[in-house]
Structure 1
Amino acid sequence: MTAAIGIKGHCAHCDITFELKPWQVNAIAIEEPFDCPYCQRVLQLSCPRQLRQFKALDHWALVRPSMAVLTCVVLIVALVAEWVGLISVIGQFNVSLVVLLVHFLALRYARFRQRITLDLQVVTPALPVEQLARIACARLSQQ
């Protein structure tokens, strides 16, 4: 099961925007290059500003469960306060409406902040082992 997390990648070579798979998101997190699914070029996130924005996504992951807990607690407190007689039924209704409004606004803002498009740059791969071995053999034979 893959969750729709809303992180997209934009290949600088083929100019195509695509939804990043979880393994590609993990590769970006550990700063490992990966292949573009369309042009097969090696891509990597190299912009420091976007890398910081990508790493900040961890903080937004806890907004949904913490807002659910906060909303439940406030609704229960308002219900108990109305039952004890500290606030009226209208007051409890107003508190409930305000907390639900804040809950949905916070979730909408968090969802907005989690949807980003990363500009992925083409990276020239390092030399394969076979080429490195040939270069080493050629240099050793020159000596």
Structure 2
Amino acid sequence: MTAALGIKGQCAHCDITFELKPWQLNAIAIEEPFDCPYCHRELELRCPRQLRHFKSLEYWALVRPSMVTFTCVVLIVALVAEWVGLISVIGQFNISLVVLLVHFMVLRYARHRQRITLNLHAVEPTLPIEQLTRIACARLGQR
């Protein structure tokens, strides 16, 4: 998930938006709560729609390397085709421009898809084990 930059989180308790660090992204991915850097409440992502969108970001992680590979291959093929004589210099120039345009458009779209703000909700505090033991002993003593 480190390739997904621009993911922000908004704490529902203190209403502050902050950039999520890689360890916080990993905590969200494994559905583990983490502390808000401002109000120090435990936060988690509860919205199933946002969780699906967040988990789909890993598909966009390989867009940059695959587009670089695709662009280089097409530019080399166009250069070889021009060298062999299959296309003219103008044709090679046009192919190169179109491929570079497609390259930058795809990267811009991928970057746009990666910039999201997640609404993080505070986790309800669970009872410590000592309180649970006292409650269990009190209920067993009632019988």
Classify the TM-score, shorter chain: over 0.9
Report the equivalent of 2:61: 61
Establish whether residue 112 from structure 1 lines up as the match of residue 81 from structure 2: no
SS in 1 for 2:69: helix
Post-superposition shift, 1:124? Answer: 0.3
AA partner of residue 39 (structure 2): C
Report the equivalent of 1:81: 81
Post-superposition shift, 1:13? Answer: 0.8
Establish whether residue 137 from structure 1 lines up as the match of residue 137 from structure 2: yes
Report Cα offsets for 1:83-107 as digits up to 9, x if no partner: 1101000100110111011111111
SS in 1 for 2:51: helix
Tell me, in whole angstroms, the C-alpha distance in 2 between the residues paired with 1:135 and 1:80. 79
Post-superposition shift, 1:41? Answer: 1.5
Tell me, in whole angstroms, the C-alpha distance in 1 between the residues paired with 2:8 and 2:60. 17
Post-superposition shift, 1:57? Answer: 0.2
Post-superposition shift, 1:134? Answer: 1.4
SS in 1 for 2:126: coil
Post-superposition shift, 1:139? Answer: 2.0
Runs of 4+ in 1 over 6 A off after TM superposition: none
Structure 2 alignment gaps of length 5 or more: none
Tell me, in whole angstroms, the C-alpha distance in 1 between the residues paired with 2:83 and 2:134. 83
SS in 2 for 1:44: strand
Tell me, in whole angstroms, the C-alpha distance in 1 between the residues paired with 2:16 and 2:141. 47
Tell me, in whole angstroms, the C-alpha distance in 2 between the residues paired with 1:112 and 1:50. 16
Post-superposition shift, 1:137? Answer: 2.0
Tell me, in whole angstroms, the C-alpha distance in 1 between the residues paired with 2:82 and 2:110. 31
Post-superposition shift, 1:140? Answer: 2.6
Moved more, 3-12 or 92-101: 3-12
SS in 2 for 1:56: helix
Structure 1 alignment gaps of length 5 or more: none
Moved more, 74-83 or 128-137: 128-137
Give the total of aligned pairs: 142
Report the equivalent of 1:13: 13
SS in 1 for 2:127: coil
Q: If the length of structure 2 is used for normalisation, what is the TM-score?
A: 0.93
Q: If the length of structure 1 is used for normalisation, what is the TM-score?
A: 0.93
